[in-house]
């Protein structure tokens, strides 16, 4: 009996010693780390503050409200038993942005896309500050398959490299035009179909653009005239085929009949331009106003041939000429674009060049897209700019063709001043492709809010975390680049069947235009 009592006493003594040792170890907080850094996006764990977490250790500060997806510095309180201590938690971003390569197919002589156009689905907790080609804008000397490195950097200077596949096509062969034949006309030239039986194929471009130059033809005078077919592929290769058209005049007075010829004026008939515009517009609707407007300007640019005209300008006559003759000057291009935009319900207004260039005026449009006004011009005929000016700011359309009095128009996109008027650049680089549409973005910054450090009290209230005003210093941060708006190629299946009625432009001009 005495032996059992002695054993029981020893066990009780051992348990008491262990309990005292455990409480003492917890009270000392010997293994506590007072300054801890975790990666942005990581959870906050008590384990991060100890080499070996003592039993009963816990946050005395409520950390549930800390957003670990944003860098910041916080003062917290940790306790164990009767002991507590202040610690610093740093949430820092050391991870580069992520993104996906967008494979590119380009022609050797094309202007290369911006770096922002070849990377998609960019993500970084702190925000992406810069997207750039690692070795500068790529310049290829031959066709083939290439891997182009693109560097993506966040506001803290963390950088990663994404390899983008480029398929480069070296196309030096012009399209082949077939089926061109001699034409004969007696009567209204609107009866002519220049493209009947005519085809064009190219070794790379599935849809080369073909147009007809009829500027030598006088439809009011009998005779044989030259017609020139021109086809251009995406690489800029041009093919031409010339044929003849024989104009027969039924009687001596036919040349004085407005309905019987094309004297090179805006008036070519009494047809309904709005009916023609609605028919054309039915195939140009896209999924949003930006893509629809781009389709409109592409259609007008690709389907009209530039030709100077005489006579007094009339908006409806000019549009009718463009839709039927597929030729005209800048006022015809403007009128066709405006009528199509009106039918699509896209707000727009005319812009006149000021001052005149070589005594001639020029017309283009301001179009309201994504809530802002952009310059858009479909006019064909500029050797140093064969493409479409689309969604351009004042700075992007800053050339001798587009000087204007900014005081007459609403503020444009890109932060232009109300009275801004572009000044020609020292040098003008020709561009094969139109300027991309841009949507401005904002440089993300980290600004932890400030607040007083709570005073410890003996109450049971849980303190809230206090952000420390120590802000991480970004390294290598740069302004973010803009993301262009893609150019549509195919019409959506849900093309509208009804369209709003257009607002007529009854203005007329008597000055010569380009």
Q: Nearest-CA neighbor of 261 among 223, 213, 226?
A: 223
CATH 2.60.40.10 boundaries in the chain: 27-92, 98-170, 171-262
pLDDT along the chain (514 residues), means of 10: 61 54 56 91 92 90 91 93 92 94 95 95 92 95 96 94 96 96 72 84 94 82 90 94 85 38 80 96 96 97 85 93 92 97 97 77 95 94 79 89 90 73 38 33 34 38 57 40 35 34 43 51
pLDDT of residue 81: 86
CA dist., res. 76 & res. 88, Å (int)? 6
Ordered DSSP codes for 119-178 = EEEEE-SS-EEEEEETTSS---SS-EEEEEEEEEEETT--EEEEEEEEEEE---PPPEEE
pLDDT of residue 194: 84
Token pair in block for residue 344: 């699509």
Spell out the alpha helix ranges (H) of 326-471.
Answer: 330-344
Q: Nearest-CA neighbor of 334 among 389, 270, 268, 283?
A: 389
Q: Is domain 27-92 in CATH 3.60.20.10, yes or no?
A: no
Map tokens 């100890």 to a residue.
50
Structural domain 98-170, CATH architecture: Sandwich (2.60)
pLDDT of residue 306: 82
pLDDT of residue 305: 83
Map tokens 């060049």 to a residue.
353
Q: CB of 111 within 8 A of CB of 432?
A: yes
pLDDT of residue 357: 67
C-alpha distances out from residue 125 to 69, 96, 153, 473, 479, Å: 6, 9, 12, 16, 16
Rounded to the nearest 5°, which phi and psi values hold at 352?
-110, 135
* CA 44 centroid distance within chain: 39
Coil, helix or strand for 466? strand
CATH number of 264-441+486-514: 3.10.620
Topology adopted by domain 171-262: Immunoglobulin-like (2.60.40)
Token pair in block for residue 440: 């401005």
440 membership: H or E segment, kind and range: none
């Amino acid at each position: 009996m005495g032996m059992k009592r002695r054993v029981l006493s020893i066990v009780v003594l051992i348990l008491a010693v262990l309990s005292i040792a455990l409480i003492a170890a917890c009270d000392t907080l010997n293994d506590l780390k007072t300054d801890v850094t975790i990666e942005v996006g990581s959870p906050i764990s008590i384990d991060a503050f100890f080499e070996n977490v003592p039993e009963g250790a816990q946050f005395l500060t409520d950390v549930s409200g800390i957003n670990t997806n944003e860098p910041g510095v916080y003062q917290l309180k940790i306790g164990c038993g009767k002991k507590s201590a202040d610690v610093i938690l740093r949430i820092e971003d050391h991870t580069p942005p992520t993104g996906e390569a967008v494979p590119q197919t380009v022609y050797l002589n094309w202007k290369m896309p911006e770096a922002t156009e070849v990377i998609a689905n960019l993500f970084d907790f702190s925000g992406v500050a810069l997207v750039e080609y690692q070795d500068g804008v790529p310049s290829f000397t031959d066709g083939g398959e290439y891997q182009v490195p693109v560097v993506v950097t966040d506001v803290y200077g963390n950088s990663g490299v994404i390899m983008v596949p480029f398929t480069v096509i070296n196309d030096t062969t012009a399209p082949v035009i077939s089926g061109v034949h001699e034409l004969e006309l007696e009567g209204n030239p609107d009866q002519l179909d220049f493209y009947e039986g005519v085809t064009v194929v190219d070794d790379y471009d599935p849809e080369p653009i073909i147009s007809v130059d009829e500027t030598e033809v006088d439809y009011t005078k009998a005779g044989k005239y030259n017609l020139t077919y021109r086809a251009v592929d995406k690489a800029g290769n041009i093919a031409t085929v010339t044929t003849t058209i024989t104009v027969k005049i039924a009687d001596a007075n036919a040349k004085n009949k407005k309905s019987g010829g094309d004297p090179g004026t805006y008036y070519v008939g009494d047809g309904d331009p709005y009916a023609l515009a609605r028919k054309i517009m039915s195939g140009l609707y896209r999924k949003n106003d930006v893509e629809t407007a781009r389709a409109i300007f592409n259609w007008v640019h690709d389907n009209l041939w530039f030709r100077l005209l005489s006579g007094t300008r009339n908006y409806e006559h000019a549009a009718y000429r463009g839709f039927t003759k597929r030729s005209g000057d800048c006022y015809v291009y403007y009128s066709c674009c405006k009528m199509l935009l009106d039918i699509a319900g896209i707000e727009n207004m005319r812009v006149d060049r000021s001052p005149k260039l070589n005594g001639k005026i020029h017309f283009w449009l301001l179009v309201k897209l994504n809530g802002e006004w952009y310059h858009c011009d479909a006019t064909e005929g500029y050797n140093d700019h064969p493409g479409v000016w689309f969604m351009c700011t004042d700075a992007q359309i800053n050339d001798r063709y587009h000087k204007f009095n900014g005081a007459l128009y609403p503020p444009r996109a890109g932060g232009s001043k109300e009275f801004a008027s572009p000044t020609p650049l020292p040098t003008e680089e020709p561009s094969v492709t139109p300027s991309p549409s841009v949507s401005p973005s904002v440089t993300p910054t980290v600004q932890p809010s400030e607040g007083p450090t709570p005073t410890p009290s003996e109450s049971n209230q849980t303190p809230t975390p206090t952000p420390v005003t120590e802000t991480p210093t970004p390294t290598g941060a740069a302004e973010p680049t803009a993301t262009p708006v893609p150019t549509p190629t195919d019409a959506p299946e849900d093309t509208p069947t009804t369209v709003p009625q257009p607002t007529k432009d009854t203005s007329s001009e008597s000055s010569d235009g380009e």
